[in-house]
Structure 1
Amino acid sequence: MRPWAAQLERLAGPVFPWPLLPVGGAAASAAASAAALAALAASRLLLLPAGPWEQDEALMACGVLDFDPSRHMPLPPGFPLWIAIGKMVRKLGIADPLLALQVASALLSVVAIWALVGLWEGVAGRRVALAGAALAAFIPGVWFHAGRAFSETPSAALAVIAFALWLRGGRAGFVPGVIAMTCAALVRPPLAPIFVLTVLLAAWWARRDGRLVAAGAAAGAAVLAVVMVPAVLAAGGWGMLLDVSEVHAGEIIATLGTESWALESIGFVRGLGTPAFAALFLALAAVGWWGWRRALAGRWWAGTLAGATLMFLLEFMDNRNYPRYWVLVWLLLATPAVAGAARLGRSRAAGLAAAGVGLAAAVGWGFPAVWYIHRHRLPVVAALAAAAGEGPGVLIYEDQLFSFRNLAAISGRLPVDSLRWTEMERAGPRIAGAPLWLLAEQPGEDLPCPASRVIEFDCRQARVWRLSQERFLHVRLVKNPVLVARGGHPVEFDGTRRFVWCGAHAALLAPRVSGPGTLALAVEVHPSLHDVPAEARVAGVRTWSERVSAGPRVIPIPVPPAANSPNLLWVELDLGAQAESSGDNRALALRIFDVSLQAPPHTVPLLTFLPQRDSLLGACAEAEGTYALEQLGNPPRPAAWTGAHAAFSFPAGAGLVGIELLAPSATPAVVVVRLGSGQARVTVGPEPVTVALPVPPELARAGRVRLELSSTTFVPGGGDTRSLGVAVGRVWYLPAN
């Protein structure tokens, strides 16, 4: 055997002790050890997540297919060794880039647990080291992230191996430890400062052997060159990589200090399930680590310095609320925690019992989350699959969802054309295709419209929320949305009603149409605007113009036959003025509440409304000649009196229009109901009467109807001087199909 191979074999013994479980003879011990490692691997490989469950996973997978940090595939500076590992696993037969990373992470998680036994065996003994490793394997935060495409688990595995080489390998373990720690830094560059510090501490420990330190430095530099040179070339050169890394670092620094300091929000606590368990775990680990200070001697101080630095970096120089960042900390503290329990219980048995209780609690708490992400896709991924399942179309997605869109597109699983929300304004008039989709996190930017279909996807497992970054867990997929593509502000709510404020010049993007009709907008003009000119253009053609004033109203925009094209419907809405509100310095003209699109192939579904402001706006309807809504009749029901004449305008196509009438007065009312060329004459008394008329073809093609009433009148008396005709309850439209 060659000298270097023999040396590696000698080092492997203390780092990866075998057999792990000395249960009897050599064969029995080997079989038990193999079974334990196989069971550990199964707990990872058989429960791999159903796709990416976080943005960075999707970006890592994109980087495996097309390494380009300038496009955040993956995030700068590129995680070069982790991407290289993913590429290597793909060459071994796992074609899916995400699955390749998941499998690699799962296997390295097993390696990390094995190396933990070697790391702590010398100071804690085999049984305590085994108990600590078993506990570490199923800490919720460790288990939840073991089979993910993140770089945290593989970098932690390499770091644990390096620590074991330095602690157990003696002088011969120094150079291999430097190589392992350099690899850890190349797998996860954000933790490079702590990894570099540990290398410097190890070099200080070996400082009296200059040749050994030099050999370690040369080995680390060689690994760095072998990994980084191809990565830099693929990224477009050092200049490009440094520039994008600097920009990304600036973005990260800008967010520092914005994370919550609440105890239950800290990632370390979240990954351990509850604050109580986290506090107990940390306290026991502190007791156990303190108890090793004599056994570790000078290395205890080096470990304390490195551990304190790692905690500082995670608390103050990174997002302290993300559980996955703490994987290395949990791994390293598990065995000291078991040792702490043994120290407090004054027996090894007490420590082992505490480890058993902790292991059972960890598995019981963490398994539902691990099982959930194994059985379910991340909501945004499920939404993309739903849109892709309907074939070609156009997808507009919010910018923060780009990573999932990129992975689906680069993997050939997204047959729809797609563009970011911020690209929509520029490309709007030229966007072609059907159906139109919007993918957004809650609340989304779409306007309520009957032509739209909203599908919500969410994560319903609270422990997944607890263990994750709480992002992309609730999204909206909207088929055929109506969007304010230009001149609008983020969606707001008036109670439960959605609306979007617009300036004087706005543009709407709506689904493609194949014939004429009407796009109706239920709006409220800014209170400060009076008698302002307004106009609307569809595909560049002016089809509506009026003067508008403050208050609610409906803007019915005719859609001409010329709008029939492959492009989506592009509607420009201009007002002659805009104004600011008290406490709001935005220049605003009107806010849009609801939209109705009645143009083929889009039809208005069953529609019903009352002659009352909110009900009218919700139906994109207008009423003329009515009084306020009252409770009328016996039993009382909501209805509004009319005068001698009243009218209702609302969306409708082919089908029936109906109106509910009553006249709770001494004299019945004679009412004529007109709908285009059709009419009906009825006598109405205290009991409700329903009148239904078919929509004439000429009105059906226009997509909007006007229902008119004429009635005999009376004056109630008793101080009520109104001239009343008939009371109107519900108005409804029933489509032909």
Structure 2
Amino acid sequence: MLRDWWLSLERRPEPLTGRQWGMVAAATLVAGLSRLLALARTPWDWDELLFMLSLDHFNVARHRPHPPGFPLYVLTAKFIRKLGFGDFHALQALSLLGAIAIVPAMFFLCRELRMRFSTSLAAAMLLAFFPNVWFYGGGAFSDVPSMTLVILAYALLFAGCRNPYAYLAGAVILAVAVGYRPQNLLVGLGPLVIATIFQIRRSVARVVSAVALLAVIIGVSYLMAAFLTGWSEYREAVRMHQAYISRTDSFLSPTRPPLWRVFDDFFVMPYHAPAINIIVCALALIAMIRSRGHVVVALLTFGPLCIASWLMLDRFSASRFSIGYAPLIALLAAEGLQFVARRTEPIVAAVIIALMIVWTWPALSIVRPSISPPVAAVDWIRNHVDARTATIYVDTGMVPFAEWYLPEYKLRFIGESQPPPSWATRQPGYYLREDASTSPHAENFIRPHKRLWDLVRQRYFEVSVRPIAEVVAFGKGWYWEEGEGPQAWRWMGARSEAALPPMPGEVRLTLSLYVPLDALGSPPNIIVRLNGATIDAFRATRSFINRELVVHARSDAPNALVI
């Protein structure tokens, strides 16, 4: 069977009838119009902001964007921006174009793989309406346009088994796809080798030209990324990013679950839609068991990317990262569907697609009309905080949002530390942070979880801005603030340090403590010191303790409190 399939690559696929062309056009139109329903009103994700920043100042060392730089993706968005689009909408327009082209590109690929007309169209429509593909096609990400380019390159290279012009075009499109995302080479290498086997018998010069075009386009793309960044800075940024991925995201990370446990994150449930996941996985499994020629080739070509993603990428972002090999999943599902449904294949495919639409729609209906929490938070700052007098203390997760939306403000990036208390800053200050705040004066910006929680990485659903009005600067030994409703508290270890503002004379110090006696072997002894002097010592025999002390504070320096 594989031999017959191989020999068929030298012939054109069976031509389509007028009615079939009409069906492809109608499917393309329907899927294309549906892409408009996924357009997000504002950016929401960290990576979107990095791409936006890269359009103004490309610098891989500053992660504008992430190493190794996505150079041709950024360049394409720059061209679109010249048409009058803003940075976000230029990137979004590029995603939209890639999303609209999914159906014709995937149909073209399936036909070149010698799949039936109905199965090819089913695969194209399934891919277009996969919840993650539909959703991320409306943002400012490289995933969907990159995927579409890979599909087109894959299809052209298979057409290039018989057509020299398609072979050269496929090599060029593959090079552009690699310039969008370097891992695309893992997918395109197999089709390139297959097409080259056919073409090298006809013209060695043509093969050399194709390989040269591929190498030159890829090489120039990433050399330009290095040049714009600076050679040594670029090399160091790539090295550090590789080390970070290995240490944090990959199977080498000590905090990552074993591979067998994250298998379902990447290949079974990249988004948590149980009915859809079960149907698609069952159909894909049937196709793999049957192992027809085009299925085997698709598995071999997409396999390296699947394995690399499983081994190296962040499992919490599998919904987005799995888009890279979503064409394989769609192809397998359509092939399994053809075997199971046979004559009712179009009807069953339509039912599955309808199920996907119904499941995904609630998520789209949230992001399309509403402002994302990070953007709402920086908008609040722009409308309520004076840039001339205030300092914005920015949590790590909000850095790119602050850099993009608050360039005229005095920004302080504080990483994992706490913002200073108001008496230490001597000027108005605000704390911009991912996650909600329990402070009574905080402004919280929250996006409903609902269906989105099952579809995307669970970040940036809650963002807060609060004025820095704390009296206490919590230091070593204290954990992050927790809260429930209007109440807030912090856990401490065996020893904690804090700083209180300078105050003259006698002052009142009030402590409210909770001691987890049920978790301790015996009641602890608690000692309280202020500026080195012991002001209280007692044995904690109760869980809830309130102490009120009159102490002598100093006015010429912060008062050091140690518990």
Give the structure-1-normalised TM-score.
0.62
Task: Please report how far the alpha carbon of residue 23 of structure 1 lies from its aligned counterpart in structure 2 after TM superposition.
Answer: 4.1
Query: Contact 2:341–2:348 at 8 Å: present in 1 too?
Result: no
Of 110, 113, 117, the match for 2:103: 113
Of 117, 120, 139, the match for 1:129: 120
Provide the rounded CA distance (Å) in 2 between the counterparts of 1:312 and 1:232.
28
Q: Which residue of 1 aligns with 2:330?
A: 334
Of 79, 83, 88, the match for 2:74: 83
Q: Deviations over 1:269-295 (max 9, x none)?
A: 44554244323213323434666735x
Provide the rounded CA distance (Å) in 2 between the counterparts of 1:517 and 1:203.
87
Provide the rounded CA distance (Å) in 1 between the counterparts of 2:220 and 2:49.
26
Q: Which residue of 1 aligns with 2:8?
A: none
- 1:55 and 2:58 correspond: no
Q: Which residue of 2 aligns with 1:287?
A: 286
Task: Please report how far the alpha carbon of residue 454 of structure 1 lies from its aligned counterpart in structure 2 after TM superposition.
Answer: 2.4
Over 3 Å counting, the alpha-carbon distance change for 1:46 and 1:342 in structure 2 is: closer
Q: Which residue of 1 aligns with 2:306?
A: 311
Task: Please report how far the alpha carbon of residue 59 of structure 1 lies from its aligned counterpart in structure 2 after TM superposition.
Answer: 1.0
Query: Contact 2:510–2:546 at 8 Å: present in 1 too?
Result: no
Query: Contact 2:132–2:319 at 8 Å: present in 1 too?
Result: yes
Over 3 Å counting, the alpha-carbon distance change for 1:171 and 1:389 in structure 2 is: same
Stretches of structure 1 that go unaligned for 5 or more consecutive residues are 1-13, 537-544, 564-570, 576-588, 591-737
Provide the rounded CA distance (Å) in 2 between the counterparts of 1:308 and 1:75.
24
Task: Please report how far the alpha carbon of residue 101 of structure 1 lies from its aligned counterpart in structure 2 after TM superposition.
Answer: 0.6
Provide the rounded CA distance (Å) in 1 between the counterparts of 2:551 and 2:74.
53
Q: Deviations over 1:85-114 (max 9, x none)?
A: 1111111110x2121111101111112321
Q: Which residue of 2 aligns with 1:98?
A: 88
SS of equivalent residue, structure 1 residue 58: helix
- 1:223 and 2:217 correspond: yes
Alignment of 1:600-639 (within 5 A): none
- 1:478 and 2:441 correspond: no
Amino acid at match of 2:179: L
Task: Please report how far the alpha carbon of residue 67 of structure 1 lies from its aligned counterpart in structure 2 after TM superposition.
Answer: 1.0
Query: Contact 2:128–2:134 at 8 Å: present in 1 too?
Result: yes
Task: Please report how far the alpha carbon of residue 363 of structure 1 lies from its aligned counterpart in structure 2 after TM superposition.
Answer: 0.3
Query: Contact 1:485–1:509 at 8 Å: present in 2 too?
Result: no
Amino acid at match of 1:80: P
Task: Please report how far the alpha carbon of residue 119 of structure 1 lies from its aligned counterpart in structure 2 after TM superposition.
Answer: 1.0
Q: Which residue of 2 aligns with 1:458?
A: 446
Query: Contact 1:504–1:574 at 8 Å: present in 2 too?
Result: no
Q: Deviations over 1:149-183 (max 9, x none)?
A: 12111110110001110223434222221221222
Provide the rounded CA distance (Å) in 1 between the counterparts of 2:215 and 2:143.
22
Over 3 Å counting, the alpha-carbon distance change for 1:97 and 1:535 in structure 2 is: same
SS of equivalent residue, structure 2 residue 368: helix
- Aligned residue pair count: 520
Provide the rounded CA distance (Å) in 1 between the counterparts of 2:184 and 2:559.
52
Over 3 Å counting, the alpha-carbon distance change for 1:77 and 1:559 in structure 2 is: farther
Query: Contact 1:505–1:572 at 8 Å: present in 2 too?
Result: no
Residue range with higher mean Cα deviation, 392-401 or 477-486: 477-486
Task: Please report how far the alpha carbon of residue 47 of structure 1 lies from its aligned counterpart in structure 2 after TM superposition.
Answer: 3.3
Q: Which residue of 2 aligns with 1:165?
A: 156
- 1:140 and 2:157 correspond: no
Provide the rounded CA distance (Å) in 1 between the counterparts of 2:100 and 2:56.
26
Alignment of 1:345-364 (within 5 A): 345-347=341-343, 350-364=344-358
Over 3 Å counting, the alpha-carbon distance change for 1:229 and 1:325 in structure 2 is: same
Alignment of 1:650-669 (within 5 A): none
Provide the rounded CA distance (Å) in 2 between the counterparts of 1:135 and 1:232.
38
Residue range with higher mean Cα deviation, 164-173 or 550-559: 550-559
Task: Please report how far the alpha carbon of residue 559 of structure 1 lies from its aligned counterpart in structure 2 after TM superposition.
Answer: 10
Of 307, 312, 319, the match for 1:323: 319
Q: Percent of aligned pairs with the same residue?
A: 23
Of 554, 560, 563, the match for 1:574: 560
- 1:379 and 2:373 correspond: yes
Provide the rounded CA distance (Å) in 2 between the counterparts of 1:176 and 1:379.
43
Amino acid at match of 2:558: E
Greater per-residue strand proportion: 1
Alignment of 1:656-695 (within 5 A): none
Query: Contact 1:525–1:548 at 8 Å: present in 2 too?
Result: no
Query: Contact 1:379–1:472 at 8 Å: present in 2 too?
Result: yes
Q: Which residue of 2 aligns with 1:629?
A: none
Task: Please report how far the alpha carbon of residue 117 of structure 1 lies from its aligned counterpart in structure 2 after TM superposition.
Answer: 1.1
SS of equivalent residue, structure 1 residue 547: strand
Greater per-residue helix proportion: 2
Query: Contact 1:519–1:559 at 8 Å: present in 2 too?
Result: no
Amino acid at match of 1:305: L
Residue range with higher mean Cα deviation, 260-269 or 518-527: 518-527
Task: Please report how far the alpha carbon of residue 254 of structure 1 lies from its aligned counterpart in structure 2 after TM superposition.
Answer: 0.9
Query: Contact 2:59–2:228 at 8 Å: present in 1 too?
Result: yes
Provide the rounded CA distance (Å) in 2 between the counterparts of 1:235 and 1:76.
11
Query: Contact 1:51–1:377 at 8 Å: present in 2 too?
Result: yes
Amino acid at match of 1:506: A
Provide the rounded CA distance (Å) in 2 between the counterparts of 1:557 and 1:232.
61
Provide the rounded CA distance (Å) in 2 between the counterparts of 1:219 and 1:162.
14
Provide the rounded CA distance (Å) in 1 between the counterparts of 2:58 and 2:426.
31
Provide the rounded CA distance (Å) in 2 between the counterparts of 1:271 and 1:21.
37
Alignment of 1:362-511 (within 5 A): 362-392=356-386, 393-410=390-407, 415=409, 417-421=411-415, 431=425, 433-434=427-428, 436-442=429-435, 452-482=440-470, 484=473, 486-487=475-476, 489-491=478-480, 497-499=488-490, 501=492, 505-507=497-499
Task: Please report how far the alpha carbon of residue 388 of structure 1 lies from its aligned counterpart in structure 2 after TM superposition.
Answer: 2.2
Q: Deviations over 1:9-32 (max 9, x none)?
A: xxxxx99x99x99449x9xx4xx8
Provide the rounded CA distance (Å) in 2 between the counterparts of 1:56 and 1:41.
25
Over 3 Å counting, the alpha-carbon distance change for 1:276 and 1:361 in structure 2 is: closer
Over 3 Å counting, the alpha-carbon distance change for 1:192 and 1:144 in structure 2 is: same
Query: Contact 1:395–1:439 at 8 Å: present in 2 too?
Result: yes
SS of equivalent residue, structure 1 residue 389: helix
SS of equivalent residue, structure 1 residue 487: coil
Provide the rounded CA distance (Å) in 1 between the counterparts of 2:510 and 2:392.
23
Of 230, 236, 243, the match for 2:236: 243
Q: Which residue of 1 aligns with 2:511?
A: 522
Over 3 Å counting, the alpha-carbon distance change for 1:441 and 1:84 in structure 2 is: same
Query: Contact 1:50–1:373 at 8 Å: present in 2 too?
Result: yes
Task: Please report how far the alpha carbon of residue 115 of structure 1 lies from its aligned counterpart in structure 2 after TM superposition.
Answer: 0.7
Provide the rounded CA distance (Å) in 1 between the counterparts of 2:549 and 2:197.
77
Over 3 Å counting, the alpha-carbon distance change for 1:84 and 1:493 in structure 2 is: closer
Query: Contact 1:288–1:337 at 8 Å: present in 2 too?
Result: yes
Task: Please report how far the alpha carbon of residue 460 of structure 1 lies from its aligned counterpart in structure 2 after TM superposition.
Answer: 1.4
Provide the rounded CA distance (Å) in 2 between the counterparts of 1:51 and 1:524.
43
Amino acid at match of 1:340: G
Bigger Rg, structure 1 or 2: 1
Q: Deviations over 1:602-654 (max 9, x none)?
A: xxxxxxxxxxxxxxxxxxxxxxxxxxxxxxxxxxxxxxxxxxxxxxxxxxxxx
Over 3 Å counting, the alpha-carbon distance change for 1:463 and 1:81 in structure 2 is: same
Q: Deviations over 1:237-281 (max 9, x none)?
A: 2x2112111101111111223445657961444455424432321
Q: Which residue of 2 aligns with 1:666?
A: none
Over 3 Å counting, the alpha-carbon distance change for 1:33 and 1:346 in structure 2 is: closer
Q: Deviations over 1:508-537 (max 9, x none)?
A: 689xx9xx998966355995454x65149x
Provide the rounded CA distance (Å) in 2 between the counterparts of 1:486 and 1:100.
44
Query: Contact 1:163–1:177 at 8 Å: present in 2 too?
Result: yes
Over 3 Å counting, the alpha-carbon distance change for 1:497 and 1:229 in structure 2 is: closer
- Larger RCO (CA within 8 A; separation ≥ 6): 2
